[in-house]
Structure 1
Amino acid sequence: MKSQGGDPDEELVVRVGRGDPAAIQALMARKLPRMLQLARRMLDDAIEAEDVTQELFLRAWKQAPSWQPGVARFDTWLHRVAVNLCYDRLRRRRETLMAEPPEQADLGPAPDRGLQARDTGRRVEAALAALPDRQREAVVLCHYQELSNIDAAALMSVSVEALESLLSRARRALRAALADMRE
């Protein structure tokens, strides 16, 4: 299903644009899990992530009939729209700050491994959420979405060197935030 232009989704997107139900199902199966994971990590909120992912695919279906192969890879476009939708949500959160501070996760010792693993996961997610937006975006794209530095840099409209700088600062911040976990 790989196109000659290097976009493995091109044929599928064209078929989606024609309203082919099998193509819609195939594209959803291929893209939904990663896009939902991206939104969850960017927003740290499963419900908002589902809303963002739904909006993302509505935009994809609307865009599919007019998709121009060769202009951009569909996956790159999909990631960019997802990240932008997440940033919109994050901006709205900042604009409507709540009067009370957010709940803090219990950082005490867990009684068993399952709880400890969940606690560790929560702490990592909280440390990730505390990163500046661009650093979090770089980490999510490279480490969780497994994009190459070249693809992530292109998606973020920065040089590879700038992306590596964002990743380096993010890693330092995460190490510092999670330092007590290594002891």
Structure 2
Amino acid sequence: MPLDAILGNVIPLERETVTQPLSELDDDRLMVMIGAEDREAFGVLAAKHLDRCVAIAYRTLGNRTDAEDVAHDAMLRVWRHAPKWKTGGAQFTTWLYRVVVNLCIDRTRRVKPTAGEVPEDLSDDAPDPEVTLGSNQTAEQVRTAVMELPDRQKEALVLCFFEGMSNADAADVLEVSVGALEQLLVRARRSLRVTLAGLMD
């Protein structure tokens, strides 16, 4: 996604002196620089995290265009929030993925995905909680079943199983306790077992 498409005609402030490559700086330092309207620092941060933002949104929404729009909006919020960023506080990725999830929630409240919009690669190399995919038809049924889960269960499943987050990190993103997250996963697995019972015989 081109940087100009996100930022438009922002006039950057003079950059602080940095002695090491921007790619070697941690997210906190990059956020401080972005807070001073450093477009290059923003480009580095976006390059690090944009693909995963798109992946989370795509697996949650089931539509590539919507997922890219959500990732675009999330990155715009990074730019706008950067001047208020407090180093040493919340982990940047936790905050960013929470933004992505909340944007997905807002979007799904407006438009529910149809079965035809189920993402093609929802079941990738990440471990599937219940089913080993044996055919395209089976994969389609699994993807449809996941997309039909209640939003919070689907978000927990996407973060933990498809994005490989720990329960603690996923709980932080969803702003729930680890116990509450585990209950979401239990309910999601139970729903999938019922929906996909015929495939698991």
Category of TM-score, reference length = shorter chain: 0.7 to 0.9
Task: Sort the Cα spacing of 1:24 and 1:174 in 2 relative to 1 into closer, same or farther, 3 A.
Answer: same
**Could you tell me which residue of structure 1 aligns to residue 90 of structure 2?**
72
Secondary structure at the aligned position of 2:111 is classed as helix
User: Cα distance 1:103–1:12, how it changes in 2: closer, same or farther (>3 A)?
Assistant: closer
Aligned equivalents of 1:117, 1:51: Cα separation in 2? 31
Q: Output one character per residue of 1:136-173: Cα deviation in whole Å (capped at 9) or x when no partner.
A: 11111111222211111122222211111110111121
- 3-state secondary structure, aligned to 1:19: coil
Q: Which of 153, 166, 169 is 2:187 aligned to?
A: 169
What's 1:20 paired with?
Answer: 38
What is aligned with 2:123? none
1:152 aligns with 2:163: no
Long gaps (5+) in structure 1: 2-7, 106-115
Distance in 2 between residues matched to 1:39 and 1:104, nearest whole Å: 13
Map 1:1-183 to 2 at 5 A. 8-93=26-111, 103=116, 117-183=135-201
Counterpart Cα distance in 2 of 1:74 and 1:104: 30
Query: Counterpart of 1:164 in structure 2: which amino acid?
Result: E
* Rounded Cα–Cα distance in structure 2 between residues aligned with 1:151 and 1:102: 30
TM-score normalised by structure 2 residue count: 0.71
Which residue of the partner structure matches residue 110 of structure 1?
none
Identity of aligned residues (%): 45
Alignment partner of 1:60: what SS?
A: helix
Letter in 1 for 2:37: G
Q: Name the CA shift for 1:37/1:103 in 2 (closer, same or farther; >3 Å).
A: closer
Which letter does structure 1 place at the counterpart of 2:110?
R
Instruction: Report the Cα distance in structure 2 between the residues aligned to 1:124 and 1:102, rounded to whole angstroms.
Output: 12
Encode CA deviations 1:61-107: one digit per residue, 9 max, x unaligned.
Answer: 1111221112322111111111111001111115xx9xxx85599xx
Question: How far did 1:40 drift?
Answer: 0.5
Aligned residues: 162
**Equivalent position SS for 2:182:** helix
Give the structure with the higher percent helix. 1
Amino acid at match of 1:28: A
TM-score, normalised to structure 1, is 0.78
Letter in 1 for 2:70: V
In structure 1, distance between residues paired with 2:185 and 2:173 = 14
C-alpha distance after superposition, 1:13-67 (max 9, x if no partner): 1122223343222211210111100000111111111111111111111111221
**CA distance in 2: counterparts of 1:121 and 1:152, whole angstroms:** 25
RMSD: 2.5
Unaligned 5+ runs, structure 2: 1-19, 21-25, 119-133
Partner residue in 2 for 1:108: none
2:127 matched residue in structure 1: none
